[in-house]
């Protein structure tokens, strides 16, 4: 499944309803083009008029051809970071005690396996993206 902004928006809306009781405001979405980083949550503080506004962004890579299950795990992982930042339980977005506690709840209640790091060998490279060998030759030659 090719990651698009529309797909990320749709997944967020559905998972926010299913797992977060529609508590999270809709963030901005981004597409990464990375083979190393599959997903990323960040928020920037401040805007033009109100310095106390937080601008959340959830980004997922389009390098891999994800299954629906893999995309759900990635999006929920980033949404846990978002939830913890939004509720003030972990504004640093770490994989600490609160993150592990919520990941355990997802595993127990929804059978969604969320880890702090992913095994990239489980993901299939999307057709048309450069191979890992290409990136290594670009880095070292």
Please tell me the predicted confidence (pLDDT) of residue 90: 85
Task: Determine the Cα–Cα distance for residues 139 and 135; give it in Å rounded to an integer.
Answer: 6
List per-residue pLDDT tens for the chain, 141 residues long. Answer: 889 999 999 999 999 999 999 999 999 999 998 888 999 999 877 655 655 667 899 999 999 999 999 999 999 999 999 999 999 898 788 899 999 999 999 999 999 999 988 888 888 988 887 765 554 444 555
Residue 44, SS3? strand
Please tell me the predicted confidence (pLDDT) of residue 19: 97
Residues 6 or more apart whose CB falls under 8 angstroms from that of 56 comprise: 25, 27, 28, 41, 42, 43, 82, 85, 86
- 8 Å CB contact between 103 and 115: yes
Ranges of each domain in the chain: 5-140
Task: Determine the Cα–Cα distance for residues 52 and 110; give it in Å rounded to an integer.
Answer: 34
Please tell me the predicted confidence (pLDDT) of residue 79: 97
Please tell me the predicted confidence (pLDDT) of residue 81: 95
Please tell me the predicted confidence (pLDDT) of residue 132: 59
Cβ atoms within 10 Å, residue 112: 18
Q: pTM of this prediction?
A: 0.87
C-alpha separations of 8 from 15, 126, 129 in Å: 10, 17, 20
């Amino acid at each position: 499944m090719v990651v698009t902004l529309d797909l990320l928006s749709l997944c967020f809306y559905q998972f926010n309803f299913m797992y977060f009781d529609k508590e999270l405001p809709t963030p901005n979405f981004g597409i990464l083009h990375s083979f190393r980083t599959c997903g990323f949550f960040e928020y920037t503080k401040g805007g033009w008029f109100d310095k106390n506004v937080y601008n959340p962004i959830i980004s997922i890579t389009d390098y891999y051809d994800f299954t629906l299950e893999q995309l759900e795990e990635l999006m929920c992982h980033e949404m846990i970071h978002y939830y913890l930042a939004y509720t003030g339980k972990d504004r640093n977005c770490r994989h600490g005690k609160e993150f592990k506690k919520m990941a355990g709840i997802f595993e127990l209640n929804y059978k969604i396996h969320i880890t702090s790091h992913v095994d990239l060998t489980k993901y299939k490279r999307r057709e048309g993206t450069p191979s890992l060998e290409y990136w290594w030759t670009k880095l070292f030659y």
